[in-house]
Amino acid sequence: MAKGDHVVVSNMKLEKLLCMKGGKGEGSYANNSQAQALHARSMLHLLEETLDKVHLNSPEFPFQVADLGCSSGNNTIHIVDVIIKHMTKRYESSGLDSPEFSVFFADLPSNDFNTLFQLLPPLADYGVSMEECLAASGHRNYFAAGVPGSFYRRLFPARSIDVFHSAFSLHWLSQIPESVLDKRSAAYNKGRVFIHGATESTANAYRKQFQTDLAGFLSARSQEMKRGGSMFLVCLGRTSVEPTDQGGAGLLFATHFQDAWDDLVQEGLIASEKRDNFNIPVYAPSLQDFKEVVEANGSFAIDKLEVFKGGSPLVVNHPDNAAEVSRAMANSCRSVAGVLVDAHIGDELSEELFSRVELRAKSHAKELLEKLQFFHIVASLSFA
């Protein structure tokens, strides 16, 4: 097969392909999700407020938690530990016996569940007391299972889940809007690989897809969540009212990453049409975008909905070292979009692309650290 002659990833294939970079290598999500960990920790008080609203069911029934879009690193395990320990303390302080806990780690079938399961600590001995379980460092006090499938559809039996958690996932669309890939459409995203700075038609197509997806997500959860349950959701957000301004996501995907694609076109390594047929399936919503869908769904009350400043996705030990910053930029892009790039242009050209991202970012290291900041939509929902 000639260079750049890979097939366009169709929307049907996206669900089977989309995942964070698996394994434990330098460009893997497991080794490039420290920023997500820091951002999640800064929001733990909001998560705990949500957990305080969850109804305590009879201890004879298992308490069931689902992390949707769990990916393959330690972050999901840490968050689940926080949830289980908080709920255990709530049962104890209410004078109730603690139930058994089940946790479902859910993501698309392409997710590296093997790496995730290898990171799971061993199950604590259920013959000992819950206090001993909690004190047993390096052990988990919950049963674990993986659930492959799109969270935009049903994943669980009706009324089976007490707590839904999803962090840094809902901004990933189920598909690229068809009009964005159609040359005859006003929304055709010619010359770009992301919607930041694109036409209003392109951005609106993405906005509509996001809202359709979120509506599907809420519809599925409204059937699966137990009465008295709660949801805690975090996704990339933006402060601008204009969907063409994607904030931090725009700086990540529409500057040096975009320029690297243009380099490949100008050097004749890929055709311009090849670049134009690649689009990052991410949409950072505004509070209004999010709120409209929740209100239209009607099943959930909004207990909290706010924009939260998460900070930079670049975690470096030496901020003055341009080489380290640019490497972090390239790895950050690669950990979340590398699988899609590999499928679109092949491993060899993908290597070329990300080396150019790193090279271009090197001369803008200081600016990247200052300006590349993520904002998140944080939502706490319970039944209306």
List pLDDT tens digits, range 7-49: 444 444 655 555 544 455 555 455 555 556 576 677 889 999 9
Q: Is the pLDDT of residue 380 over 70?
A: yes
Between 260 and 314, residue with greater pLDDT: 260
278, 193 Cβ separation under 8 angstroms: yes
Mean pLDDT, residues 137-151 taken together: 90
The confidence score (pLDDT) of residue 15 equals 59
The confidence score (pLDDT) of residue 313 equals 77
- Dist. CA 188–CA 179, nearest whole Å: 6
The confidence score (pLDDT) of residue 336 equals 83
**268 Cβ contact partners less than 8 Å away, ≥ 6 residues apart:** none
The confidence score (pLDDT) of residue 125 equals 66
Of residues 174, 29, 33, 218, the one with CA closest to residue 111: 29
Between 302 and 334, residue with greater pLDDT: 302
Q: Which helix (H) or strand (E) holds 56?
A: none
Residues of the chain with pLDDT > 70, as a percent, come to 86
CA 125 to chain centre: 33
Instruction: Report, in angstroms and rounded to the nearest whole number, the Rg of the chain calculated over CA atoms.
Output: 21
The confidence score (pLDDT) of residue 332 equals 86
Q: Is the pLDDT of residue 5 over 80?
A: no
